[in-house]
Structure 1
C-alpha cells in the first residue's frame, strides 16, 4: 500500500511533495494510518488534534495519545479544546454538525496563523459510500452523488481510493496503535448504521463493490463536469451583468426544457434550491422576490434581477454635511464649490441656490413615503412613482442616495435635482454639487 500511496501522491497531490502541511489527527485508525503513510513517504507535516470534550476521560486519552505520538516522531502537534455542548445549545443543530463546524473553522485559522497551505483529512472509500448513501436517502442532485471531493482550496484527502479494510490491513502489518471511539458502534447515528449494517451487505452482493463504486463516482464526476460546462456557457448567454447585478430574461428561461432542472442548475449556487418557488417567481407579480443567505432574486417586469446581499451598517445611517465642507468621500464622493454662474444640471452635477439650503445637509437612503419636486415639473411626486417612471429596478432603488436639506430632498443623487432649490437669482451664491 505504501508504494501505491507514494505514486498516488505524485500523480494526484504533487503539491504535498514540496509543502509542509497539517494532518487532522484524532488518534483513530484512519488518521493514524494516514500519518504513518506520510511519515514513511518522508513528507513534511504537523498534526492537529481537536478535543471536543464529549467523552470525558476518553477524550483526554485521545489527546494524550496524539501528543505522545508527535513527541515520539519529533512532529509538532497543535491541540485545541471545544465546549461542544455549549456550542450546540447556543447554535442548535446536532453534535456532529457542531463538531464539524468547530474543527473546520479552527483548521482554517491554524493554516493562516502558521502560513501553511493545506490540511489533510483521513476520509477513505467507506466514508465516500456513506456520504453518497446519506445524500441519496435524503434526495439530491448529481452534486450530492459525486462523493467527497479529494481537493478543496485548503483540504486534501489522499485516502479516498482506499477502503477501511485496506487501512486495517496496513495498520496490522505495520503494528500501528490507535484509539477506538465507542460511539462509532452506536447505530442510532445514521452514518454508523450505514457503515455497520448496509455497506457490509452491499459488499456481500458484489465482491468488487468498492471498485465499482469508485468507477461510478468517477463517471458521475465527469458527467457533472460536462453539465457544469454547459451551464456555464448558458449563464454567459443569460446572465447579463449590469451595475454589480445580473439581469436574466424570463422569456429565455421559459424556453429551457426541462425547466425545473435548468433552474436548479442555474440558481442553486446562489442558495435558491426550492424549484417550486423559482418557477412561481417567473409568473409572479413584478417586485416579488426570493431571498437566500447570500443573494436576492427579484422579478422586475420581464426579467429576473440577481444581486448579492451586501448590507453594510453605514447604509442604514445618515451622514451630515457641514456648511464649509468642500468634499466628502463616504458613503459616496461629492464635491461642493461656489461658482460664478450656473450651467445645465446633469446626472453627475447640479447647481442650487445656496441660501435655500439649511445646514447641516443630510445624505441618506430613500424610504417609503419620500417625495420631491422634480426639477422642471414644480409639482410633488412620490419617489416610488418617480422610480417607476424612470424604470429603476427594485434592486437599484436600494442603492440610491438622497441629499436632503431640513428633511427636504435637494437631489436624488445621480438622477434628478429638486425644483425648490433651483438657481433663480444669479446675484446670490450658486453652489455646484458634483459626483467625483
Structure 2
C-alpha cells in the first residue's frame, strides 16, 4: 500500500509534498495508518487530536495513545479538549454534528494561526460508500450522491482511493497499534448499521462495489458540471440583484422545462428546509414567505425576493442636537451644519435646522404615515409613495423615516419633506447625508 499511496500522492496530490500539513488523528486505525504513511514519505506533518470527552476513560486513553505515537515518531502534536455535550445542547445539534463542528472549527483555527497549508483527514473509500448510502436513503439532490470530495479547500483526503481492507492489511503487515472506539460497534447509528449490516452484504453480492460506486460518482460529477453550466445561463435570465436583495422572476422561471428543479438548484445554498414550501410561494399571495436559518424568501407580485435575516439596529433611534453621525441599517447618517446648499441627491438633503424639534427620531414606516414631498403641493401617504415608486415588500420593510416629532423630515435615501426645506430666511442649514 505504501507504494500505491506514494504513486497516488505523486500523480494526484503532489502539491501536499511541499506544504506544511496538519493530520487529524483520532487514534483509530484509519488516522494512525495515514500518519504512518505520511511519516514514511517524510511529509512535513504535525498531529491534531480532539478529545470530545464522550467516552470517559476511553477518550482519555485515546489522547494518551496519540501523545505516545507523536513521541515515538518525533512529531509535533496538538490536543484540544471539548465539552461536546454542552456545545450540542447550547447549539441544538446532535452530538455527532456538534463534534464535527468543533473538530473542523479547531482545525481551521490551528491552520490559520500556525500557517498550516493543508489539513489531512483519513476518510477512505468505505466512508465514501457509507456517505453515498446515507444520502441516498434520506433523499438527496445530485450533490449528495457525488460523495466526499478528495480536495475541499484546504482539506485533503489522501486515503479516499483506498478501501478499509487495504488499510487493515497495511496495519497488520506493519504491526501497527491503534485504539478501538467502542461506539463504532453500536448499530444505533445509521452509519454503523450500514457499515456492519448492509455494506458486507453488498460486497458479497458485488465485490467490485467500491470501484463501481467510484466510477458512478465520477459520472455524476461530470453531470453536475453540465448542470452548473446550464444553471449559469438560466440564472442570467431568471435572477437579478438589487442591492442586497436577490430577485427571481416567476414568469421566466415557469417558462423553463422543470421550474421546480431549477428553483431548487438556484436556492439550495441557502438551506431552505422544504423545497415544496418554497415552490408553493410561486402561486401564493404577495406577502407570503418561508424562512431558512439565515434567509427569507418572500413572494412579491411577479417575483420571489431573497434577503438575509438581519437585526435592525436603527428602529426608534434618537438623534440629539449635537450628534454628528449615527449608524443605521441603511448605512451611516451624518449631520453637518454648513454655510450654503450644495448638490442635492437621494442620499443628501439640506434642511432648516431651526425648524427641527430635537431629539430627532429614526424609525420604520407605519401604515397611515403622511409626508409632504418636496417639489410637490400637498401631502401624500408614504404607502402610496412606495407603491408609485414600485418598491418591493422588502424595500418597504427596510425603509427608514427621519422624523421631527410626528413630522417626517426624510424618507431616508429617497425623498425629503417640503416642510423643512431651506428658504431665504433660513439662518442655520443642516446637511444630512446617507453614506
Same fold (TM over 0.5): yes
- Could you tell me which residue of structure 2 aligns to residue 50 of structure 1? 50
Query: Does the aligned pair in 2 maintain the 1:338–1:429 contact within 8 Å?
Result: no
Shift of the alpha carbon at 1:145? 0.6
| 1:18-417 matched pairs, under 5 angstroms | 18-272=18-272, 274-309=274-309, 311-312=310-311, 314-316=313-315, 318-323=317-322, 327-328=324-325, 330-331=327-328, 332-339=332-339, 346-367=345-366, 370-377=369-376, 379-417=378-416
**1:403, 1:252 → 2: CA distance?**
38
Shift of the alpha carbon at 1:191? 0.8
The TM-score, its normalising length taken from structure 2, stands at 0.92
Change (3 A) 1:208 1:428: closer
**1:430, 1:81 → 2: CA distance?**
63
Aligned Cα root-mean-square deviation (Å): 2.3
Unaligned runs of 5+ in 2: none
Pick which of 368-377 and 205-214 moved more. 368-377
Query: Does the aligned pair in 2 maintain the 1:374–1:417 contact within 8 Å?
Result: yes
DSSP-derived class of the 2:314 partner: helix
**1:351, 1:262 → 2: CA distance?**
48
**2:7, 2:255 → 1: CA distance?**
48
Change (3 A) 1:352 1:98: closer
**1:55, 1:343 → 2: CA distance?**
71
Shift of the alpha carbon at 1:230? 1.5
Change (3 A) 1:190 1:344: closer
**2:102, 2:48 → 1: CA distance?**
13
Shift of the alpha carbon at 1:200? 0.8
**1:351, 1:55 → 2: CA distance?**
68
**1:93, 1:276 → 2: CA distance?**
24
Shift of the alpha carbon at 1:295? 2.3
Number of aligned residue pairs: 431
Query: Does the aligned pair in 1 maintain the 2:316–2:361 contact within 8 Å?
Result: no
Pick which of 383-392 and 193-202 moved more. 383-392
Change (3 A) 1:345 1:183: closer
The TM-score, its normalising length taken from structure 1, stands at 0.91
DSSP-derived class of the 1:17 partner: helix
Q: Is residue 426 from structure 1 mapped to residue 424 from structure 2 by the alignment?
A: yes
Query: Does the aligned pair in 2 maintain the 1:378–1:420 contact within 8 Å?
Result: no
Q: Over residues 278-335 of structure 1, what are the superposed CA-to-partner deviations in whole Å (9 max), with x where a residue is unaligned?
A: 22211222232222222222222212222233x2563346151425x6x537342435
Change (3 A) 1:414 1:95: closer
Shift of the alpha carbon at 1:339? 4.0
Shift of the alpha carbon at 1:172? 1.0
DSSP-derived class of the 1:145 partner: helix
Shift of the alpha carbon at 1:376? 4.8
